[in-house]
Amino acid sequence: MIATGDMLPEATLIQMGADGPEDVRILDRTKDRKVVIFAVPGAFTGTCTTAHVPSFMRTKDQFDAKGVDEIICISVNDPFVMNAWGESTGATEAGLTMLADAASEFTKAIGMDFDAPPVGLLARSKRYAMLVEDGKVVALNLEVSPGACEISAGEGLLDVI
């Protein structure tokens, strides 16, 4: 599992662009930049929609003041779902970037994948938030339970950076 001090692995995520889905190479997106990445088990799910995304919308100005260039939300969903979720929550309008890890490539590469068949979640991401500087993880807050959103919330990450 990825840890503080590790470099992010090479992985391609997907973002909705003006002309449809576009590839986003995570190492290109974080090169020479300070980026917050937070991940959720699923778009349109309870805690993810009511707590996790809103926490980063609330704290975006505080991250901006700390020199964060971008706040990225990642979920193992398709880019169409992530786009719709970003619009419905107001996250896109608030300036958060919604990226799809459709094949769970990034999530598996950093060891954050899990399965919860009873609730229909397969190959999903654990809930976490990290600060990445030039591709290196400088802070990582991982929730013990996917239903909890405390240390991985915007406020929780601000507390450690």
- Catalytic machinery residues: 48
Under DSSP, is residue 92 helix (H, G, I), strand (E, B) or coil? helix
Contact by Cβ (8 Å): 140, 4: yes
Closest C-alpha to 153, from 144, 142, 145: 142
Distance CA 158, CA 93 (A): 21
Contacts of 20-23 spanning 24+ positions with Cβ under 8 A:
21/79, 21/80
Distance CA 45, CA 12 (A): 24
Burial class (CB in 10 A: 0-12, 13-18, 19+), 100: buried
